[in-house]
Structure 1
Amino acid sequence: MKKAKWLWLGLVLLASLFLASCSSGNDSETSSNDDSKDNEDSTSKSSEQVLHLSEGAEIPTMDSSLTIDALASQWLGSTKDGLYRLGENGKPEPGIAKNHEMSEDGLTWTFNLREDAKWSNGDAVTANDFVYAWRRAVDPEIGSEYGPYMMSGVIKNAEAVSKGEMALEELGVKAVDDYTFEVTLEKPTPYFESMTTFGTFLPLNQKFVEEKGDQYALEADGLLSNGPFVMTEWNHGEGWKLERNPDYWDADAVQLEEINVSVVKETAAAVNLYQTDEIDRVNLSSEFVDEYRSSKELKVEEEPTIFFLKMNQENEILSNLNARKAIQMVVDRQSMVEVILNNGSITTGGNVPANFTKHPESGEDFREINGALVEHDLKKAQEYWSKAKEELNIENAELRYLGGDTEVAKNLDAYIKDQLEKLDGLSVKVESVPFKVRLDRDKNMDYDIENYGWGPDYIDPNTFLNLWVTDGGNNKTGYSSEAYDSLIQKAGDELAQKPVERFEAFLEAEKLLIKEDAVIAPLYQRARAQLWKPDVKGVTTNPMGPDYTYKYAYIEGE
């Protein structure tokens, strides 16, 4: 989702619909969890433990069964604990599960839950909360996108249950007792432990959810927390407040008393808030990166997050392969990252990011092996476009481009529009809409071209490449290929425990997706240029799921 990836929120500032957002940090930019604990004694007791942040959009919903975006993922991860949560270097650390055992065949996972975890209404967190949440995520009456996407082919019977072919009770989850949760998988899944940190797998208090009904997770009083913080205020369109959860099982590790978040869509306004000490972090657009280039407060982070143009093949023009290849080649990505973004982002010619996964035998990076599968070439783009117009029997064409409504989004979308219109006879109509509207329109395939982003839901090429299987929950392009489906299925089934052959199947699938079928037009791999107040310590960045972990954050005293 993500991002899910499940989708972060840097995505709004970078003008793309980003599902299940993730970010990667380095030791020079953030403090590790252990560092933050070691420094606890040096933190001034008189310093105000309040973190002030801004986001570029409103949270669409805090319902973990329904969220598909990175913004919700961030604040779900701050207010809830799953079986495990993301710790230092993106490694799972104990959450509600103290530990687990796995059967010899890799199919049965038994999680032993802590008995001191409580919901913010005083109820104990039990195995039944996980059973209810996971069943709800694949209940066809709920209509979750991420539940079937994340669980099908992983949790036993998830696909059949999500299609209404089996009862909810047939899902491979079981409460052995209040504090023992058993999961049965369809096949061995090496990355399953990291999946349990993802928002879709968070527990739900059944009584509370059902009491709230269709108002669940839409307001602060419609939420329960079992994590480090509780959302106590949610002023839609303006911001929200989190407060330290005194009943959290690991409350002693949490130093921040409050996190206040304001919705600010304009970069200049956010920078002004930072300069006047009203917020502690700001994402910078191109012109501000130059202005603060020499500042010690400037931090640049590369992330395993890819942005690309989705092309709706139900559109007559975009159903044409040559038209899609023309769009792939016409955008000058290098100028885009150097001038328009100017934040450390790099161009990409594929769907899997650099510095994400390596060949299990040679150790070579996935992106290095496949290289740039598509490059900027205006002459070739025009040739493909001419062929497309001839095949379609048209001279001119208009395409709708779905983009964001923030200042930076509009700037980037204007650049891409200009690039696309270098194709003779093509006019592009940019439709700039709020983030929540974009989610709905993507779900309903109400677009021709869309600027879209994806961050990993777990550390494996599958999190990027299984997006495009026929009728996949996040496909939403109309693309369908038996050859592609076969490669992804083979990687997940017969090659599941053959790491070299599995990796090479993913390499072949990406070539088919990008080079041969031109399903998407890769643009860039995101980096974020930010200013951080130097007294903010202990914030860690994550390669998947929530962009940041604030559990161990604190404000250093003078």
Structure 2
Amino acid sequence: MTYSIKAALLGSALALASPALAAGTHPVTGEKLADEQTFTYRVLDEHTSVDPQIVEDVSGSEIVRDLFEGLYNQDKDGNLVPGVAESHTTNDDKTVYTFTLRKDAKWSDGKSVTAGDFVYAWQRLADPATASEYQWYMEVMNIKNAGAVMSGDAPVTDLGVKAIDDHTLEVTLESSLPYFALTTTHTSTFPTPKWAIDAHGADWIKPANIVVNGAYKLTEHVANERLVRERNDMYWDNGNTIIDKVVSLVINDENVALTRYMAGELDRTEIPAGQYPSLSQSNPDEATAFPRLCSYYYTINVSDNAPEFLKDVRVRQALSYAINRDIIVDKVLQGGQTPAYTFTPGATANFAVPSVDYSGWTQAERNEKAAALMSEAGYDKSNPLDITLIYNTSEAHKKVAIAVSQMWKQALGVKVTLENQEWKTFLNTRGEQNYEIARAGWCGDYNEASTFLDLVQSGSGYNDAKYANDMVDGLLKDAKTMDNPQPNYTKVEEIIAADMPIIPIYHYAGSFMIKPDLIGSWPVKNVEQNWYSKDLYKVAE
């Protein structure tokens, strides 16, 4: 059996016509376009990297999607649309995927983008020598021999990916994976230029050295301050790109960012915690909130060297139960978020949120149960537990942490030390398990429940709790080949709700101020929020 995704069938990819653009109107909507097409937006922290195989954060991935292009992109509704790949076919048992690459895709230095560039990038991702934080994604994709390559037991050439010719990429899976095509929109799978990396090493991503195949080139980067990308004339669809220049500004304080937005310096910024209700009244054409495929949670160190009290499941359960999630979303954040009692959000495609036990209790019942559990573990208000909670610097994270610490103190007598850290330091601290409890957030890499639940699999690169459960591992492994994996996902959610290695707090909403001349092109219906500057545009006032 063969299966093919053709460009003409891939949803709403816009085939914009250059004559209309030249006339200053949008060729599909007919809107008059603004003369200046520069998009400026705020980010909280300096990104981790713009190297596709190294980047590990959301803001960095947003930049990488502008600079590089993978096999497939997403449209404004989250559907797959062609990127470098025009289509693909599969064999009968869907274990071999053959991608046909477009012949007009070029690198910014004029070289053609080839299947070999993808082979190099995927082998580079799996190679232990690269030390990618996203190396584990190769196993998420179920690529043949990924595990052996990642462990160093097999050469990278054994990875199940090869170039049949310059424009035909063949990928072999360990077994059929129903959502495999969805995983190819992730930035870690984007091609990288071997010749540039060989020539410049780690410095290949500097503006003077970088070679890209996306709609934009990197033209300026001032660490912890700003990053600028401008149109790439070599991009295959450059003639249909409207936004000319994209500027991301690092502004750590969300209230300062809002002030600068109001002053006209930014086209988009996050709404500070608690301010959505008032801003939606005062600026209804700019304040917007919508569901996102993201979960906000606290991860608990349960590694071998974790404090003994955190290895006690009663303590972990008590800490989770004592958090009043309704107060967090309704009083602290007020931005359309929803309380979370499971890790996987309800916005996930084809996923039914299971009703885990404690989700059905009243908060009074949760607090009563929490106090009893903490007492059983040997702690109470006369013999309080001391905990350190870390979070990356952000006013919103601070507000949540303060609220949670007060809830723990009031309900359980727990003494909490709050510690904020700069982003990269925080990632290192959490990743090396040098913490007790840490703030965490996860946005889906693709729209399927495994993108969340794989984080509690024992071998996951982002299992910062170092939680290990053989039953969970088995359920997740079996789910990969199931036509309906919901029963397995339900069971995994029930197990982690009982073991509590993580504490789900809320499911995200996108809560932004977006200038009226841009808001019409923002992909609010894409719950993954994989946006591409090439698809945005500004209309004339």
In the superposition, the TM-score normalised over structure 1's length comes to 0.87
Distance 1:471 1:108 in 2: 25
Distance 1:497 1:383 in 2: 40
Using the TM superposition, name which of 159-168 and 78-87 deviates more. 78-87
**Does the CA contact (< 8 Å) of 1:349 and 1:374 recur in 2?**
no
User: Which position in structure 2 is the counterpart of 1:232?
Assistant: 219
Shift of 1:425: 4.5
Give the alignment partner of residue 150 of structure 2, picking from 142, 149, 162: 162
**Does the CA contact (< 8 Å) of 2:444 and 2:528 recur in 1?**
yes
Distance 1:372 1:353 in 2: 16
**Does the CA contact (< 8 Å) of 1:455 and 1:544 recur in 2?**
no
User: Which position in structure 1 is the counterpart of 2:503?
Assistant: 521
Give the alignment partner of residue 294 of structure 2, picking from 277, 283, 305: 305
Question: For the structure 1 residues 355 and 60, does the alpha-carbon distance in structure 2 shift closer, same or farther, using more than 3 Å as the test?
Answer: closer
Question: For the structure 1 residues 327 and 452, does the alpha-carbon distance in structure 2 shift closer, same or farther, using more than 3 Å as the test?
Answer: same
Instruction: Report sequence identity in percent.
Output: 27
User: Which position in structure 2 is the counterpart of 1:540?
Assistant: 523
User: Which position in structure 2 is the counterpart of 1:478?
Assistant: 466
Question: For the structure 1 residues 152 and 282, does the alpha-carbon distance in structure 2 shift closer, same or farther, using more than 3 Å as the test?
Answer: closer
Question: For the structure 1 residues 104 and 292, does the alpha-carbon distance in structure 2 shift closer, same or farther, using more than 3 Å as the test?
Answer: same
User: Which position in structure 2 is the counterpart of 1:61?
Assistant: 49
Question: For the structure 1 residues 107 and 381, does the alpha-carbon distance in structure 2 shift closer, same or farther, using more than 3 Å as the test?
Answer: same
User: Which position in structure 1 is the counterpart of 2:8?
Assistant: none
Give the alignment partner of residue 339 of structure 1, picking from 331, 344, 353: 331
Give the alignment partner of residue 290 of structure 1, picking from 264, 277, 284: 277
User: Which position in structure 2 is the counterpart of 1:461?
Assistant: 449
Shift of 1:83: 0.8
- Specify the code of the residue in structure 1 equivalent to 2:226: G
Tell me the SS of whatever aligns to 1:123. coil
Shift of 1:213: 0.9
In the superposition, the TM-score normalised over structure 2's length comes to 0.90
User: Which position in structure 2 is the counterpart of 1:378?
Assistant: 367
Shift of 1:34: 4.5
Distance 2:377 2:501 in 1: 15
Distance 1:186 1:378 in 2: 46
Deviation string for 1:399-418 (max 9, x for gaps)? 22111212222222222222
Distance 1:241 1:510 in 2: 41
**Does the CA contact (< 8 Å) of 2:229 and 2:245 recur in 1?**
yes
Question: For the structure 1 residues 123 and 544, does the alpha-carbon distance in structure 2 shift closer, same or farther, using more than 3 Å as the test?
Answer: farther
Question: For the structure 1 residues 368 and 508, does the alpha-carbon distance in structure 2 shift closer, same or farther, using more than 3 Å as the test?
Answer: closer
Tell me the SS of whatever aligns to 1:119. coil
How is 1:100-179 mapped onto 2 (pairs within 5 angstroms)? 100-151=88-139, 154-179=142-167
- Specify the code of the residue in structure 2 equivalent to 1:160: A
User: Which position in structure 1 is the counterpart of 2:9?
Assistant: none
Which segments of 5 or more consecutive residues in structure 1 lack a partner in the other structure? 1-31, 359-364
How is 1:420-439 mapped onto 2 (pairs within 5 angstroms)? 420-439=408-427
Shift of 1:35: 10
Distance 1:374 1:204 in 2: 48
Distance 2:528 2:335 in 1: 22
Q: Is 1:531 matched up with 2:528?
A: no
Shift of 1:152: 5.3
Q: Is 1:87 matched up with 2:87?
A: no
How is 1:345-494 mapped onto 2 (pairs within 5 angstroms)? 345-358=337-350, 366-367=352-353, 373=359, 376=363, 377-389=366-378, 395-492=383-480
Tell me the SS of whatever aligns to 1:286. coil
Distance 1:170 1:182 in 2: 13
Distance 1:372 1:89 in 2: 34
Give the alignment partner of residue 315 of structure 1, picking from 294, 303, 307: 307
Deviation string for 1:44-73 (max 9, x for gaps)? 466111111111111111121122211111
Using the TM superposition, name which of 150-159 and 318-327 deviates more. 150-159
Number of aligned residue pairs: give it: 512
User: Which position in structure 2 is the counterpart of 1:191?
Assistant: 179
Hey, which bits of structure 1, 4+ residues long, moved more than 6 A? 35-38
Question: For the structure 1 residues 430 and 547, does the alpha-carbon distance in structure 2 shift closer, same or farther, using more than 3 Å as the test?
Answer: farther
Question: For the structure 1 residues 405 and 468, does the alpha-carbon distance in structure 2 shift closer, same or farther, using more than 3 Å as the test?
Answer: same
**Does the CA contact (< 8 Å) of 1:456 and 1:543 recur in 2?**
no
- Specify the code of the residue in structure 2 equivalent to 1:279: L
**Does the CA contact (< 8 Å) of 2:354 and 2:490 recur in 1?**
no
Distance 2:329 2:464 in 1: 26
**Does the CA contact (< 8 Å) of 1:81 and 1:226 recur in 2?**
yes
Give the alignment partner of residue 252 of structure 1, picking from 230, 234, 239: 239
Tell me the SS of whatever aligns to 2:50. coil
- Specify the code of the residue in structure 2 equivalent to 1:171: L
- Specify the code of the residue in structure 2 equivalent to 1:254: T
Question: For the structure 1 residues 277 and 35, does the alpha-carbon distance in structure 2 shift closer, same or farther, using more than 3 Å as the test?
Answer: farther
Which segments of 5 or more consecutive residues in structure 2 lack a partner in the other structure? 1-11
Deviation string for 1:146-179 (max 9, x for gaps)? 1223435700000100000101110001111111
CA-based RMSD of the aligned residues comes to 2.2
Shift of 1:371: 7.8
Higher relative contact order (CA 8 A, sep 6+): 1
Distance 1:509 1:286 in 2: 32
